[in-house]
Amino acid sequence: MQQLPKRLLSIDVLRAITMLLMIFVNDASGVRHIPEWIDHAKGFEDRMGFADTIFPAFLFIVGLSLPFAINNRIKKGDSAKDVLFYILVRSGALLIMGFFHVNMEEFNSDAAVISKAVWALVVTTAFFLIWLDYPETMAKGRRYALQILGIALLIAMAVVYKGGEDGEVHGMEPSWWGILGLIGWSYLVCALIYFAVKGKLNSLIVAWIVLAAVNIIAHSVFKIKVMRDESIVKIAGDDVTGTFIGNAIIFLKPLWIIHDASTMTLTMGGVVISGIYSKLVETGKTQRIWATLAIVGVLLLVAGFAIRPYAEGISKIRSTPAWVFICSGITTLAFLILIYVVDVKGKVNAFKWIKPAGTSTLTCYLIPYFQVFILELLNVRYPSLINNGLPGLLRSFATAFLIILLGGLMEKKRLRLKI
């Protein structure tokens, strides 16, 4: 059997495929009359659509790449303080972007001095100015000036922001943190755990089990449900209001979405799978990789369907354990297939056309914000012919491909975000 590498190209390919599909399903959400199985399931439904598998796959991939990234920094000579600083800065950047994105959802153009489209475009431009992968040849003074300009723009947008409905207008405030914010929290917790246990596989497996247990308990034993606008905690079916717990929920409201550890369980699952792979390669037992990862993937699927009746069914919106386990199993098996295709058979060039989505992932994620809000600013609407049914889905896929192509061109010009 071909010797497998310690650093996997298949992770970049899996990330690229996932980002392509994320852009596709996000764009397709605005297409009318698409098959139900493609779209997100409703919050009250006990099922998941294809779109519900994409975000958890990305979280899992964050975990897959996390050990490689941290270990590479250590090999380059970074001290423990340097690594810790890297973790905090990276997660902090994602939290800041997520914070602005989630407030974008409640933007009130009538109350604000600028439109939502202008606000979103300025914010996205500021992200690029702050976190752009500036070339080392650029003068430090110029780079710092551009970053300071980006920070100033974010502050200005925070000052002029108005959200909520008429009569209840408010400034920027945290709620569910947004996609990037959730990734930031999950990365922060899992990276700190990895850092604390020094990457020891047994300790990482214990952490994964503990996080999964928290997720199961939150959706079964206690059935905790924190309402966004009410300080109500349902424990074993009883409403508790006006108590210390209720007040604590108000105080911790910005973190309510991560209370069940679902995102962290997904990310830590990726960390463990990555650890298993590395351990088998280092000990020369690469022949065991196929059976080991296949068994883990199947067991996760079985666990998801087994716990479904006892932990609020399958739901991405409610981040139930069944959803976490099933998506973890699907991603593990997809990863295993790509190890064989990309790292063993060397078919990496077959995915060259989407490579930028795996190497400039954050850039490709943010480009659609320019697309959507420039069209909104210009009051451009897609014709019904290409925004309905199969033609609409084909248009969404073409849009995803063009965005990745643009991301590749920007990468060549060093116009990509790097955190």
Q: What does the pLDDT look like over 335-345, one tens digit per residue?
A: 999 999 999 99
Q: What is the CA radius of gyration of the chain?
A: 22
Q: What is the DSSP string of 250-294?
A: HHTGGGGGGTT-HHHHHHHHHHHHHHHHHHHHHTT-GGGHHHHHH
Q: What does the pLDDT look like over 389-410, one tens digit per residue?
A: 999 999 999 999 999 999 999 9
Q: What does the pLDDT look like over 17-33, one tens digit per residue?
A: 999 999 999 999 989 99
CA distance readout (Å), 115 to 126, 156, 245, 381: 17, 14, 39, 17
pLDDT beyond 60 at 51: yes
User: DSSP state, 378?
Assistant: T
pLDDT beyond 60 at 283: yes
pLDDT beyond 90 at 257: no
Report the candidate in 325, 328, 299 with the shortest Cα–Cα distance to residue 314. 325
Q: What does the pLDDT look like over 101-157, one tens digit per residue?
A: 999 999 999 999 999 999 999 999 999 999 999 988 899 999 999 999 999 999 999
pLDDT at 220: 84
pLDDT at 202: 97
pLDDT at 4: 54
pLDDT at 199: 95
Could you identify the residue written with the tokens 């690594």?
83
Residue 2 vs residue 98, higher pLDDT: 98
Cα distance between residue 64 and residue 351, in whole Å: 19
pLDDT, the chain, mean: 89
End-to-end CA distance of the chain: 37
pLDDT at 232: 35
- Residues 89-105 have a mean pLDDT of 95
Most confident of 45-49, 251-255, 259-263: 45-49
Q: With 0.85 as the threshold, say if the pTM is over it.
A: yes
Confidence band for 167, pLDDT divided at 50, 70 and 90: confident
Confidence band for 419, pLDDT divided at 50, 70 and 90: confident
Residue 262 vs residue 256, higher pLDDT: 262
Give the 3-state secondary structure of residue 191.
Answer: helix
